[in-house]
Amino acid sequence: MEQNQNTQHAVILPLAGSVLLPHAQLLTGPFRISESLRRTIEEHAGSEYKVIAVPMKSGDPKEPAAEDFYSLGVLFDIEKAESESSGLLLEGHTTDRVSAERIYTDNGLLYGDYVPAPDQDDLNDREQAEMVEYLMKVVREISSHFRGGEQYMKAVEGIRSINELISYLIRYMPVSDEDKYELLKTDSLRERSLTFMDDLLKQKEGLKFSMELNEKISDNASRFYRKQILREQLKAIRKELNEDEEGESDGEQEEQPDYKSRIKEAGMTKEAEKAALSEARKLDTMGQGNPEESVIRNYLDFMLALPWKKEAARPVNLERARTILNERHYGLDKVKERIIQHLAVTQLKKNNKGSILLLVGPPGTGKTSLGKSIAEALERKYIRLSLGGIRDEAEIRGHRRTYVGALPGRILQNIKAAGTTNPVMVLDEVDKLMAGGFSGDPAGALLEVLDPEQNNTFTDHYLDLPYDLSDVFFIATANSLDTIPGPLLDRMEIIEISGYTAEEKFHIGREHLLPEVLEDHGLADNQLGIDDAAIKEIIENYTMEAGVRGLKKQFAAIARSVSEKIVSGGDGTSFLIKKEDLEEILGRKVSHHDMAQQDNPPGVVTGLAWTPVGGEILFIEATDMPGSGEVTLTGQLGDVMKESARISLSLLKSRLPIDAVNFLERDVHIHVPSGSVPKDGPSAGIALFTALASLFTGRRVDPLLAMTGEITLRGAVLPIGGLKEKLLGAQRAGIRKVLIPKENLADLKDVPEEVKADIRIVPVETVEDVLKETIDIDLPRIDHVFRMNGEKGGYSPFGATA
């Protein structure tokens, strides 16, 4: 590439964190530069030796690279150079703008080829003088607000060059290096002047605002100091006159509390007492009106409000506790037994050691209200802390006191409100905690709270001292375990609360919900009654839930209807609601449950499904047609359920004799009705297998038989979840026989006796057991099915030997 004939050469002076503008008289530095460049500049200072000051975008000025520099710089005439410990101090002035065409290294020095890049002198002498005068006027207004501004103005008054004035003033302005470089890049003198003028006016307005704000703050502080002095004088006058302060007005301050004596009487730990006394001493030595005073006072007030003294263990009455739990909650035997066990341990150990339970179950099953009953049974204070939607770790651990408006975390706030060290604290909706982000991870903050090995030294950021939470009985509630982090889940004892049976809902509705609704609506027992048949009809056809919230809402709708009639003076003051009255009051039925069919054709089987609002039966339909061996799956099935269907078909092909069905000439279509409802999970495996077996053998499956179980490619039946809910759904649908995996036999202890008495439950271990129970076919073990090439004979499911 040909070089420009105006190209010249000079040493590069790297500028890191600064930008020099053209035509500036200055004393600048110190510069962090390489040792070889330092020696060169010191040797040639005051000579005609040329140096280009080029700003750096990045990199180390002691070891710069060509790509670290901007393209524009200024010629720097160095008149004097002095070495200091922090760098090289240079005195001199800048001249013209230049453009660095090429930057290279030679003998340890950085050189640059440059060409002149002069300014466009688009301001005549009159315009330049007017611009200088206007800038001087603004500078005078700014400097008048500062002490020593006159000396500053004397230095400025003698400058008449616009470039020199800009270079001088910008050193004292909070302008970024990027903005300074933009001024350097602007080759138009007019544009550069106007841009700088904007920056100077912004500086002026910002300074004006700050001064007005400071003036207001100063006035408020003065008024505060004056009031403080007057109050002290008033106290001294009253003391001199031997007058008490009973007549003191509401606006006057009371005598300051004696923090030291209160701290010593609070029963704090040694570490906490030492920290509190230290803060109290700071308060005593602090001057009047110190802004830290209120921060320390709030901190000490919070420490003194916290309960520190351990509560003595009380004698436990197990029978009274059992009576309270049974009166307040129908069913929930496992939870009740766990509480009674805890009370027994407390009695033996003679302490209040807390526990950490996690109650998991569908909405409306009484998890939160159970906490109140536990607190009453334990004779402790009850606190409820809702965690749903919390995304800030400080909500659990608090803010550090260095922040303005800092508050303690909600754990210690609730302990303070309870006033005791051993409350029952319900952490509601622990599965609804938001994932961690900029505000930290609230679930992670709970790890220390819910760890029995660590929570005796729980440290809140605001308190900044260990606090013992080991006596607190924590009860967490959740609807699902899926969103609870594993480490947090590991710290709690999980108790699953499944949905209520229809019988349990009936007793809860009649014995608990109906009296509550009558009280809420101001109705007496003799004004409204709902007969048993009507309650059962509401449960079956007007609610669709695992809990009882919807049942209570329907009772409330009936109560509102009756209240209106009573207030209107209508058909009397006593009402008994019967089954036939429900449609008029509640409208049409809102729930629909599939019922067992009278007859199932070959290829149709009844399965069992779990839903968040209870169990349901599920029909599996299969059909075939002439084709090429394709398989079609419909009914909005999930990936796992589709895999179960493919496993079932592969297993069936392997178990049937080779010449029984020609699968290559048949297309198979599997459908699960209720196509708008997504379905997934492996528990329909044996139902899918049975539907295909029924289709290809032409044998019908009993319509009153349902089944659930995961299937494997080797023909094993694996256990499933939600057995109780599925059996409840089967009972409601009129099913009389259910096939379940053999490994689920242990779960039958959770199934109500009335369900087990109504349904014949048959455990199965392999697909051979399934086929025997469903379509009465005996298959041998899998190793007897396959025939070797050329071997005659084989097994036929239809009873004949080929």
Q: Burial, 340: exposed, middle or buried (Cβ in 10 Å; 0-12, 13-18, 19+)?
A: middle
CB contact at 8 A, 314 and 379: yes
Q: Is 734 left (phi over 0), alpha (psi -120 to 50) or beta?
A: left
Cα(113)–Cα(71) distance, rounded to whole angstroms? 11
3-class state of residue 590 by DSSP: coil
In the prediction, which pLDDT does 788 show? 41
3-class state of residue 782 by DSSP: helix
In the prediction, which pLDDT does 250 show? 43
From the list 180, 336, 552, 726, the catalytic residue is 726
Cα(76)–Cα(515) distance, rounded to whole angstroms? 94
Q: Tokens representing 716?
A: 């094993």
| β 760-764/737-741 pair status | parallel
CB contact at 8 A, 764 and 741: yes
Fill in the amino acid letter for 447: L
Q: Annotate 659-725 with DSSP letters as a single string.
A: TT--GGGEEEEEE-S-TTS-B--STTHHHHHHHHHHHHHT----TTEEE--EE-TTSBEE--S-HHH
Residue carrying structure tokens 């160095």: 78
**683 classed as catalytic:** yes
Q: How many Cα neighbours within 13 Å face the side chain of 225? A: 9
Cα(761)–Cα(107) distance, rounded to whole angstroms? 94
Cα(714)–Cα(782) distance, rounded to whole angstroms? 8
**Neighbour count for residue 284 (Cβ, 10 Å):** 9
Angle, CA 684 vertex, CA 678 and CA 689 arms, to 5°: 130
Q: How many Cα neighbours within 13 Å face the side chain of 126? A: 0
Sheet containing 737-741: give its strands across.
631-634, 666-671, 614-626, 604-611, 705-707, 737-741, 760-764
Q: What is the largest CA-CA distance in the chain?
A: 126
- Those residues with Cβ within 8 angstroms of residue 782's Cβ, 6 or more apart along the chain or in another chain: 654, 655, 714, 715
Beta bridge partners of 399: none
**Neighbour count for residue 112 (Cβ, 10 Å):** 23
Cα(155)–Cα(739) distance, rounded to whole angstroms? 100
User: How distant is the alpha carbon of residue 542 from its chain centre?
Assistant: 35
Residue carrying structure tokens 């079932």: 648
Residue carrying structure tokens 């060509």: 66
CA-closest candidate to residue 184, choices 10, 12, 18: 18
Cα(670)–Cα(643) distance, rounded to whole angstroms? 12
CB contact at 8 A, 396 and 434: no
* Length of the chain measured in residues: 802
Which element (helix H / strand E) includes 556?
helix 549-567
In the prediction, which pLDDT does 211 show? 65
The rounded average pLDDT for each run of 10 residues, N- to C-terminus, in the chain (802 residues) is 65 80 70 71 67 81 78 82 72 82 78 83 82 80 68 71 79 79 82 82 73 64 67 74 51 56 88 89 73 85 90 80 85 81 79 79 84 85 88 84 85 91 90 71 83 85 89 89 86 83 84 89 86 88 82 90 81 78 84 74 90 79 88 89 90 72 82 78 91 90 92 91 86 89 90 87 92 84 48 43 32
Cα(716)–Cα(720) distance, rounded to whole angstroms? 13
Cα(429)–Cα(431) distance, rounded to whole angstroms? 5
Q: CA quadruple 45, 46, 51, 54: dihedral positive or negative?
A: positive
**167 classed as catalytic:** no
Cα(162)–Cα(135) distance, rounded to whole angstroms? 9
Alpha-carbon distances of 560 from 18, 266, 544, 789, rounded to whole Å: 77, 52, 21, 78
- Cis peptide before 30, with omega less than 30 degrees from 0? yes
Q: Where are the alpha helices (DSSP H) in 350-460?
A: 367-378, 394-397, 410-418, 442-449
Cα(631)–Cα(645) distance, rounded to whole angstroms? 9
Q: Annotate 418-450 with DSSP letters as a single string.
A: HTSSS-EEEEETGGGPPPPBTTB-HHHHHHHHT
**Neighbour count for residue 348 (Cβ, 10 Å):** 9
Cα(696)–Cα(766) distance, rounded to whole angstroms? 19
Cα(64)–Cα(70) distance, rounded to whole angstroms? 12
CA-closest candidate to residue 520, choices 574, 578, 576, 562: 562
Residue carrying structure tokens 């002035």: 93
CA-closest candidate to residue 586, choices 658, 537, 637: 537
- Those residues with Cβ within 8 angstroms of residue 386's Cβ, 6 or more apart along the chain or in another chain: 428, 429
Which element (helix H / strand E) includes 473?
strand 473-478
From the list 552, 683, 694, 724, the catalytic residue is 683
Angle, CA 267 vertex, CA 264 and CA 268 arms, to 5°: 90
Cα(56)–Cα(63) distance, rounded to whole angstroms? 12
Cα(552)–Cα(536) distance, rounded to whole angstroms? 13
CB contact at 8 A, 486 and 349: no
Cα(282)–Cα(662) distance, rounded to whole angstroms? 93
Q: Annotate 63-88 with DSSP letters as a single string.
A: S--GGGB-SEEEEEEEEEEEEETTEE
